[in-house]
Amino acid sequence: MSEKLAIRGGEKVIPDGTMKPWPPIDDTDRKLVVASAEGTERAFGPHCTAFQGELAVWNGNKYAITTNSGTAALHMSLVACECGAGDEVIVPAYSWSSSATCIMQHNCIPVFVDIDFDTMNIDVEKIEQAVTPKTKAITAVHLHGLAVEMDPVMSIAERHGLKVIEDACQAHGAKYKGGKVGTLGHCAAFSFNQNKNLCSGEGGMFVTDDEDMLAKAKSLWSFGETRTPAESRDYHVYAMGWMYRNNDLTAAFGRSQLAKLDRHLAAEKANAERLTECLKDVRGLILPTAPADCEHCWYNYTIRFDMERLGHARDAAAFRDRIVDALKAEGLETGVWQAFILPAMTVFQAKNGYGKGCPWECPHAEPVDYSLDKYAVAQRHCDSHTGMTTPLRAPNGPEMAELAAKAIGKVMANLDQLEGPA
């Protein structure tokens, strides 16, 4: 039966104030954050040391360095892998911008590989074609909380003598063949910003099991000073470095959230399963799935609209935007997380990194081609997706997943109301 969509003046499915914000705060947070505020060390303090130790234990890594962002940890990963000027780093054509821009930041060249439509991750079957004598590393981005199938990636790396960086910024707790992301490649980066499964406002973590990679990453982390905590600080710059350290207050919040992470991940899994159960028969939707070897951590529940089936293959992105607006009117905020695939972004098309053609035209680099026809799958995904995070997150429970599914079902059953003039 036809129902009037909220965008056409009907009643919204999710009343204002029903959706609870992320992350939920309790006495664990209050205690640690106040303890840090009342302490004397504001910069890299005792909560930072404790946080990196606890994260390393939780994830099963030997070493962890806490940073002020996931991007900083990614940049440190490139240095840990000994990437240098003109070296190429393979990265998926669809990800957060800094999965690729941190490569340029180190004067290296991003080489994009198309994604697999089903997993939304890098197409592992297309990686090897992108390897050249200049390739130094592969960045495996575990997008939306789904691990990349790492065995083929590690085999390619081994065959060509490459290092593998895991961009685990969205994937705390995701697993491949039972192993947690961050333990599967040579080193990895996590993010703790805003809506991540582990949120401390901003912040990040570099992790590795390799002592030498730890030392290299650390050289970038704090102004290029390389002394260990046991040595006295000599305020001497030994290597090119930035200010990538975390601070005590943020780390205290990260610690309190880490203590609850397993519980939060279990809630997200239950909510995602409920969403899938409620949405499985909705016509015109393509739901997220995970290969048998992968355990999703449900950072983001991304749906695609089957634009062929809906008769909108030619104006997919525009029609998707109308659906997203209609969902918003129903009280369900979904997000077109990336409106552009990475190689389509101006910085890559114009190759306007540092000016004067650098890093692409610097003497160490070989020409790379960012023709967009190479990334047709990423583009199709980009034009037809929307995703959601908050309805999955505690303290929202399965009842919120049911409401979200109801809003989606209502809009999808009444798409005729979105045809014609807005």
* Catalytic residue IDs: 196
Site for ligand PLP in 166-195 (CB under 6 A): 167, 169-170, 191, 193
Kindly provide the residue ranges of all beta strands, DSSP E only, lying in 192-271, ordered along the sequence.
204-208
Site for ligand PLP in 18-57 (CB under 6 A): none
Contacts of 236 (CB under 8 A, 6+ apart): 225
Mutual angle of helices 261-279 and 398-413, in 10-degree steps: 30
* Residue count, binding to ligand PLP (CB under 6 A): 14
Q: How far is the CB of 255 from ligand PLP (least distance, A)?
A: 17
Task: State yes or no: residue 99 binds ligand PLP (CB under 6 A).
Answer: yes
Q: Is 85 helix (H, G, I), strand (E, B) or coil?
A: coil
Rounded CA separation 175/356 (Å) = 43
Rounded CA separation 357/359 (Å) = 6
Q: How far is the CB of 347 from ligand PLP (least distance, A)?
A: 16
Distances, alpha carbon 415 to alpha carbons 50, 55, 310, 333, 385, in Å? 52, 46, 9, 18, 16
Site for ligand PLP in 58-77 (CB under 6 A): 69-71
Pick the binder of ligand PLP from 7, 65, 108, 141 (CB under 6 A): 141
Q: Which residue's CB is nearer to ligand PLP, number 139 or number 226?
A: 139
Site for ligand PLP in 200-219 (CB under 6 A): 204
Rounded CA separation 81/136 (Å) = 8
Choose one: 163-171, 233-241, 247-255, 347-355; the region binding ligand PLP (CB under 6 A). Answer: 163-171
Q: How many C-beta atoms surround the C-beta of residue 182 within 10 A? A: 30
Q: Which residue's CB is nearer to ligand PLP, number 61 or number 71?
A: 71
Site for ligand PLP in 349-368 (CB under 6 A): none
Q: How far is the CB of 141 from ligand PLP (least distance, A)?
A: 5
Longest Cα separation, the chain: 74
Contacts of 409 (CB under 8 A, 6+ apart): 278, 279, 282
Task: State yes or no: residue 135 binds ligand PLP (CB under 6 A).
Answer: no
Choose one: 34-42, 94-102, 179-187, 238-246; the region binding ligand PLP (CB under 6 A). Answer: 94-102
Q: How far is the CB of 64 from ligand PLP (least distance, A)?
A: 15
Contacts of 40 (CB under 8 A, 6+ apart): none
Task: State yes or no: residue 98 binds ligand PLP (CB under 6 A).
Answer: yes
Choose one: 21-29, 93-101, 250-258, 301-309; the region binding ligand PLP (CB under 6 A). Answer: 93-101
Q: How far is the CB of 233 from ligand PLP (least distance, A)?
A: 26
Site for ligand PLP in 297-356 (CB under 6 A): none
Task: State yes or no: residue 101 binds ligand PLP (CB under 6 A).
Answer: no
Q: Which residue's CB is nearer to ligand PLP, number 61 or number 246?
A: 246
Amino acid at 9: G
Pick the binder of ligand PLP from 59, 95, 256, 379 (CB under 6 A): 95
Residue number closest to ligand PLP, CB atom? 70
Alpha-carbon torsion 123, 128, 134, 138, what sign? positive
Q: How far is the CB of 48 from ligand PLP (least distance, A)?
A: 16
Q: How far is the CB of 389 from ligand PLP (least distance, A)?
A: 11
Residue labelled with tokens 């790396």: 157
CB 142 within 8 A of CB 168: yes
How far is the first Cα of the chain from the last one, in angstroms, to the nearest whole number?
22
Q: Which residue's CB is nearer to ligand PLP, number 59 or number 69?
A: 69
Alpha helix stretches (DSSP H) within 17-145? 27-38, 46-59, 70-80, 97-105
Q: Which residue's CB is nearer to ligand PLP, number 99 or number 119?
A: 99
Pick the binder of ligand PLP from 94, 96, 253, 305 (CB under 6 A): 96
> DSSP per residue over 145-195, as a string?
G----HHHHHHHHHHHT-EEEEE-TT-TT-EETTEETTSSSSEEEEE-BTT
Q: How far is the CB of 79 from ligand PLP (least distance, A)?
A: 16
**Site residues, ligand PLP (CB under 6 A):** 69-71, 95-96, 98-99, 141, 167, 169-170, 191, 193, 204
